[in-house]
Structure 1
Amino acid sequence: MAHRLLTAGIRHWVQLPVTGRIAVIYLLARLVTTSFFVLAASLSTPSSRFGMQPGLGDYVLGWDAQWYWWVAENGYPSTLPTIDTGAVAENAWAFMPVYAFVAKAAGFSNWGAGALLISLVAGFLACLALHRLLRDRIGGTAAMWAVAFFACGPLAALFQVGYAEVLFVLLLLVALDLVARHRYGLLYLVVPVMGFTRPGILAFALFLGLHGIMRWRRRRDDPLPTRHIVHIVALGALTTVVGFSWQVIAAVVTGEPGAYLQTELAWRRNWIDDPPADFLPFDGFVRGAQFWASQWGLADWLGVAALGVLVVGAALLLLRSPSVRKLGPDVRLWSASYLLYLLAVFFPQSSTLRLLMPLTPLWGALAVPRSRLYRWGLLLACLIGQWLWIYSMYGLAQTFWQVP
């Protein structure tokens, strides 16, 4: 009887269209995430920033979601707030406008409901886009497993809270697929929206440059028409302009040339006592490596050395790993571009894992091995990681050490 039911279930599953299978996986994943949120709420203590027995709505509006809500309701300050020393304080200029205002439009008078709706819908569409990006590279079955890992992964809570990451990843996956298929025209619409959703568009500008170089080198095997050259150059220029435009807008509105970068640097004061007065590329990661070395009682140089090993290891993985190579050169070039971007601009802290979400296509590399035991084991690890992240960032939520 059980065998007959199992056989029938497998037959029905196989007969479902791809969109239907992804919908089932996504729905089940969201139910699991919801149960994790409910459990985290039941374990919340008075020392948590959410207090005792918070509701799911409190989590939707928690942490950085408050900033997006503020932007939607109040816009951006024309005068930068400052702290007692005169340094720029944390403020709304660190948060891009697209997600904030789209959520407001979707929720009408209830921004939180709109944010939840946008995150949920964008998450489902991102799963569809991920499968489309990967299926021709690693096969339909492995691509479906990649979708499952993505939907159930350690960062799956972001599908159900007021953060812009999932919308950005949706736009990114669409953009990567368009580039890989050489359908450059639609990118003129996608790039500006992506650039004003969250930081990271400058990494895409670097990726387009590397993509153009790759196509030029392979032009004998993969013809490179003049119109494609024009598109790649024009899109690279557009992406670069979009990438720096938010800094220009912030400077014009506030009258402060370094308004955006000073705002971003304000968050580093949560971690180090003497953040730099001006932004310097790669300085954040070096200082972060030194900071974490000091927390563990190690010499500063050991932290920097560990960072170097991490960077070299990531580079070798992207260049040499057979599983990563199967994803194709565009996914690898994007991953390398984004990691280099993070090294240049980010201070490593508790949000580091969340900021790795744009590397979502790499789930495909983890889905390549065909062992059933491996795949189910990795899915279980994803769920365990998701619970630990939700419990730490939302259940405990006690200090800046636990900022998602």
Structure 2
Amino acid sequence: MAHLGLSPRQAGERLLARARRAPWWLSVLAVYAASRIVSTGILLHVASRQPANAWTPAQPGYFDFARLWDGTWYWIIAAGGYPDDIPRDEAGLATENAFAFMPVYPFVVRGVMVLTGLEFAAAAVAVSVVAGAVAAMLFHRLVRTWLDERAALLATALLCLAPISPILQVAYAESLHLAMLLGALLLLLERRYAPLAVLVTIMALTRPSGLAFALALAPLLAWRWRRHRRGLEPFPVRERVELAAVTVIAGLAGLAWPGIVALATGDLTGYTDTELAWRRPYVGPVELVPFTAWWQGARWWLGETAGPVVLALVLVAASASFALPQMRRMPVAIRCWIIAYAVYLLAVFFPQSSTFRLLLPLAPALGALAAGALAVRPRWLRALIVVTMLAVSIAGQYGWVHIAWWVDGIDWTPP
């Protein structure tokens, strides 16, 4: 063969050159497929140690293991829909129920079940895996708008191998929502507002994100208006109206599911009361007061003094990261999304083990991480950093599955 007689270095360089000539989407799908092999191996290893529990037998097969936790709620919705009212305990407090989970993912899975005859778990995993592949390709396209090909592919690998990436192949809505979000961000950069309005509406009924997206668009609108007034960038009246309209639509989409729940049950606060049921084991019966949950959670997890200090340090560090050159290269619209979603999490979510997967929509920040790693000199140190990042990501997957996914009988850290 032609490559016989080449040194190992020459053969490696030729192989690398061929890989670089491959279509971008083929490279991305290869990375995604390799990452799914890694995540599947980790999930199967942990499943082999899984004792019998309320959801699965001992040592369950992959599909049974993949529909644990919220997967059971999606199964209930796909099989029978939503309840007629909000279940409440003797004190009148809402208990955990299906209305906490939005309808797009379970209804898509239901459609696949009807079309293919698959059972829920297999259909749900299929939807998640395919949506994850779409998300990987859209992510690469998104970060490629400000990164070179090498950095974009590394960022994609970091996403596909991230500690929470097993969530991309289980019966959860994260894959589908991530694909929609990345598609929405691409449409935003391309200023295609009509399809953006449609996609954001569907996305907001897949995972809570409509209000966050509206919160991202509002400062973007103001920023572009200011640049227009200073003569730095045209901002035609039609585009102003379209962007403002999408901002309003995103906000309304964010309120749509709570409104639908209220109309369906006759319970005006049914959705928010349902969401509060999941934090009650930690902090008791509390009201939904914006920007208080993380303070409460920090004190619950880390103590009265250490908790607020650690929270403050994390917030300061996260804010300071936007001064880094790699973050400043990111399009303003993407930075607006990252800030808006982080603010949204701080406003309404209680920090617990499921918060790790809630950080997935911040994935565009991985572009800055990849760019920073590839800017390191000399070459040997850069290679060491990249390999270390990927190894830590894989180790983090095992840690996340061990901590959050399997059921050990006394679990209070659900994914």
Question: What is the TM-score with the length of structure 2 in the denominator?
Answer: 0.91
Identical amino acids, percent of aligned pairs: 36
Q: How does 1:315-330 map to 2 (within 5 A)?
A: 315-318=319-322, 320-330=323-333
SS in 2 for 1:402: coil
Which stretches in structure 1 are left out of the alignment for 5+ residues?
A: none
Asked if the contact 1:13–1:21 (Cα under 8 Å) also holds between the matched residues in 2, the reply is yes
In structure 2, the residue matched to 1:334 is 337
Deviation at 1:50, TM superposition (A): 4.4
Please give the per-residue CA displacement for 1:273-314, whole angstroms capped at 9, x wherever unaligned. Answer: x221x3211122222122123xxxx3x254234323322221
Cα distance between partner residues in 1 of 2:399 and 2:54: 16
Task: State the Cα RMSD in Å.
Answer: 1.7
Paired AA for residue 215 in structure 1: R
Asked if the contact 2:102–2:207 (Cα under 8 Å) also holds between the matched residues in 1, the reply is yes
Which one is further off, 303-312 or 109-118?
303-312
Which stretches in structure 2 are left out of the alignment for 5+ residues?
A: 1-6, 375-381
Q: How does 1:278-357 map to 2 (within 5 A)?
A: 278-293=287-302, 298=303, 300-318=304-322, 320-357=323-360
Paired AA for residue 341 in structure 2: Y
Please give the per-residue CA displacement for 1:201-241, whole angstroms capped at 9, x wherever unaligned. Answer: 21001001011011112222221111110011111111111
Paired AA for residue 71 in structure 1: I
In structure 2, the residue matched to 1:231 is 242
In structure 1, the residue matched to 2:197 is 188
Cα distance between partner residues in 1 of 2:312 and 2:404: 28
Which one is further off, 39-48 or 321-330?
39-48
Is 1:270 matched with 2:276?
no
Cα distance between partner residues in 2 of 1:384 and 1:289: 25
In structure 2, the residue matched to 1:132 is 141
Deviation at 1:37, TM superposition (A): 1.1
Asked if the contact 1:154–1:386 (Cα under 8 Å) also holds between the matched residues in 2, the reply is yes
Asked if the contact 2:326–2:368 (Cα under 8 Å) also holds between the matched residues in 1, the reply is yes
In structure 2, the residue matched to 1:162 is 171
SS in 1 for 2:85: coil
SS in 2 for 1:84: coil
Asked if the contact 2:55–2:68 (Cα under 8 Å) also holds between the matched residues in 1, the reply is no
Which one is further off, 71-80 or 258-267?
71-80
In structure 2, the residue matched to 1:25 is 31
Is 1:216 matched with 2:225?
yes
Asked if the contact 2:353–2:404 (Cα under 8 Å) also holds between the matched residues in 1, the reply is no
In structure 1, the residue matched to 2:252 is 241
In structure 1, the residue matched to 2:4 is none
Cα distance between partner residues in 1 of 2:315 and 2:32: 33
Deviation at 1:188, TM superposition (A): 1.9
SS in 1 for 2:194: coil
Which one is further off, 31-40 or 390-399?
390-399
Please give the per-residue CA displacement for 1:118-166, whole angstroms capped at 9, x wherever unaligned. Answer: 1111111111111111113121110010111111111111111011111
Provide the aligned length of Structure 1 versus Structure 2: 396
Question: What is the TM-score with the length of structure 1 in the denominator?
Answer: 0.94
Asked if the contact 1:41–1:54 (Cα under 8 Å) also holds between the matched residues in 2, the reply is yes
Which one is further off, 238-247 or 5-14?
5-14
Deviation at 1:372, TM superposition (A): 2.2
SS in 2 for 1:271: helix
Paired AA for residue 337 in structure 1: A
